[in-house]
Chains A and B, each alone.
Chain A
Amino acid sequence: MKRNVRQDTKAHATDTPVRQVVSWRFFFPGAMPRQEEGVERGSTRLDNRAIQVAESDRSMSNPKPDDTLECTLPSADTKGVMPQKQPERARHVYARVLLVFVPTAFGLTAMAFLLYITGALDPLISMAETARLWALGAGEALDVTGMEPGWDWLTRWYRADMLCLVALALLASATPVACAFASVQYFRRREWALGIIASVQVIILAIAMSGLVVAE
């Protein structure tokens, strides 16, 4: 028991200078000394915690390429006392978009296919007709069904088979949407090169999605 009390006291003693370093740096990032200096000044006894906080402090001013420890900022609820380790924001946003899109798309796909095979919703092309079409090429199949290349399938979403295509398209849309959100995050963090690369990626995927590029 005594040992625990002593440990707490020691932690409290080293907390105060560290807290000063972090809070000063938060408000006046340009005017603050380098974090190594801060550690030396702030804590005469360099314990592990002081080093840890100082390292977090360094990543605040000079973002590291390391994606895991990249965005290290003081959290609002602790009022800048202890910086919290956060994953890269762009990656976090990207994953969240996928986690919203993918289950929704899979659910919709399964539901639409159920409506299709049970005949609960009328298809545009019956299953028997589909069996004749699948031996033809894509272009010939479009000619037979009278559909246009491009987004014609979306305008007939109320048909069971086209609803299946809408669901599959939703699944494929997850990535471009996630990339768009990620590019915004990169620009916000002033990581121009990655922001531009992510934006170019979105443009390429948008061109593919647009229906302007189709095989006749």
Chain B
Amino acid sequence: MTAKRFRHILFVAILVLAVFAVAQTPGAEEAVSNTALPAWGWAALLFLFCLGIGILAVMAGVGGGVLFVPFVGTLFPFHMDFVRGASLFVALAGAVTASAGLMRKDLTFPRLVLPLSVTSSAAAIAGAMVGLALPESTLRILLGIAIMGICLVMILTKRSEFPEVRKQDALARALGVAGSYFEPSTDSKISWQAHRLPVAIVLFIGIGFLAGMFGLGAGWANVPVINLVVGAPLKVAVSSSLFVVSISDTAPAFIYLNSGAVLPLIAVPSVLGMMLGSRIGVRVMTRSRPKVVRYFVISLLALAGVMSLLKGLGAF
């Protein structure tokens, strides 16, 4: 790793840790009510923090939502309801923006996405209702466990650039779930077809439920399922995952909004910070090693998971 790359990662890490230090200063939560740090100060801090998360998320190839909930939920003095509400809008904003561009590049296939997003969004509504009904401490414990599980999924799952699909299943054939796209790296047209679509639909029920319950974007699970189970090429899987997130996160986002779990002072700086951070991340990404950053982010995520678990147990 060159010194320049190291400096980039170090800068982002220091930004994240600085916010961590401010947030964990003894009496930080009391300071909010005593207005030692004004509300706009927290909003500005949140904006900077999300800027850092946005950069890291893009460089590590993970969604913003999965980093946002454990970090902000643990480091900031916000109730988990508002953190999850803001996180859904963060994930939604990123996914909707990316989907529009990917559709124009012929990389997103509604035939593949719609059957998956229907079950996912319905399950996400149920997940949101359960998540909003659970006590905060229970939710933190479950989130900690879920985040550690996500870390394992991220480490263990291998991705396949062009999976081999010999025969389509009946549902995929009936819906015509197949397609082709132009691959600039090989200067050729890649044709693909799907299989095991019913299995993926069932898996997306669970993914949607977790997304609604914890306010996560769920790209960490969508991509392996679409890539390894359905058999779509990796590029199609990533773009389809964003498309699924843009649909399935809409449902719980409105549940949280209508339940009073979205505060503009938390949601808007988060969305704007994350969007700006991901744009910067795209530029920095070309000069960094994704694998190194990915393992760095997974380590941070595991730390956030442990902290969430300990906070839920009252030990942090």
A residues touching B (Cβ–Cβ < 8 Å)? 64-69, 87-88, 90-92, 94-95, 98-99, 101-102, 106, 109-110, 112-113, 116-117, 127-128, 130-139, 141-142, 145, 147, 149-151, 153, 161, 164-165, 168-169, 171-172, 174-176, 179, 182, 193-194, 197-198, 200-201, 204-205, 207-209, 211, 213-215
B96: A residues at CB distance < 8 A? 98, 101-102, 171, 174-175
User: Is A213 touching B262 in the complex (CB atoms < 8 A)?
Assistant: no
Q: Give 9 nearest A-B pairs by CB, closest first.
A: A65-B176, A215-B132, A164-B264, A138-B261, A95-B103, A98-B100, A208-B251, A131-B39, A142-B260
Partner of B110, one of A91, A128, A130: A91
**Contacts A134-B263, A138-B261, A193-B174; is A128 near B268 (CB within 8 Å)?**
no
A-facing residues in B17-65 (Cβ within 8 Å): 29, 32-33, 35, 38-40, 42-43
User: Is A91 touching B125 in the complex (CB atoms < 8 A)?
Assistant: no
**Contacts A109-B268, A172-B253; is A147 near B260 (CB within 8 Å)?**
yes
**Which of A101, A133, A198, A215 has the most chain B CB atoms closer than 10 A to its own CB?**
A215
Q: Is residue B162 contacting chain A, with contact meaning CB distance below 8 A?
A: no
Chain B: which residue is nearest A193 at the CB level? B175
Partner of A168, one of B110, B129, B176, B257: B257
User: Is B262 touching A172 in the complex (CB atoms < 8 A)?
Assistant: no
A-B contact pairs, 11 of them (CB 8 A): A66-B178, A91-B110, A95-B100, A106-B93, A106-B275, A131-B35, A131-B265, A136-B79, A168-B264, A169-B254, A211-B258
Partner of B77, one of A66, A135, A141, A182: A135
Report the bound CA distance from A211 to B92 in whole Å.
19
User: Is A65 touching B118 in the complex (CB atoms < 8 A)?
Assistant: no
User: Is A113 touching B268 in the complex (CB atoms < 8 A)?
Assistant: yes
Name A's interface SS: helix
Give the interface size bracket for B toward A. Answer: 35 or more
- A172 to chain B: closest CB distance in Å? 5
- A96 to chain B: closest CB distance in Å? 9
- B278 to chain A: closest CB distance in Å? 13
User: Is A205 touching B264 in the complex (CB atoms < 8 A)?
Assistant: no
**Which of B29, B108, B259 has the most chain A CB atoms closer than 10 A to its own CB?**
B259
**Contacts A95-B104, A102-B97; is A165 near B177 (CB within 8 Å)?**
no
B181: A residues at CB distance < 8 A? 68
Report the bound CA distance from A133 to B109 in whole Å.
42
User: Is A66 touching B258 in the complex (CB atoms < 8 A)?
Assistant: no
- A120 to chain B: closest CB distance in Å? 14
- A43 to chain B: closest CB distance in Å? 25
A-facing residues in B97-120 (Cβ within 8 Å): 97, 99-100, 103-104, 106, 108-111, 114-115, 117-118
A interface footprint on B192-216 (CB within 8 Å = 1, 0 otherwise): 0100000000000000000000000
Partner of A127, one of B40, B79, B247: B40
**Contacts A91-B108, A113-B268, A168-B262; is A65 near B114 (CB within 8 Å)?**
no
- B273 to chain A: closest CB distance in Å? 12
Report the bound CA distance from A98 to B133 in whole Å.
33
User: Is B117 touching A135 in the complex (CB atoms < 8 A)?
Assistant: no
**Contacts A131-B33, A164-B268, A208-B254; is A138 near B78 (CB within 8 Å)?**
no
Q: Is residue B164 contacting chain A, with contact meaning CB distance below 8 A?
A: no
User: Is A172 touching B40 in the complex (CB atoms < 8 A)?
Assistant: no
Report the bound CA distance from A138 to B133 in whole Å.
10
User: Is B82 touching A197 in the complex (CB atoms < 8 A)?
Assistant: no
A193: B residues at CB distance < 8 A? 174-175
A106: B residues at CB distance < 8 A? 93, 275
- Besides the contacts A201-B117, A208-B255, what 16 more A-B pairs have beta carbons closer than 8 Å? A65-B176, A65-B179, A69-B180, A91-B103, A91-B109, A101-B96, A109-B271, A130-B39, A131-B39, A131-B265, A138-B79, A169-B254, A201-B118, A205-B247, A209-B254, A215-B128
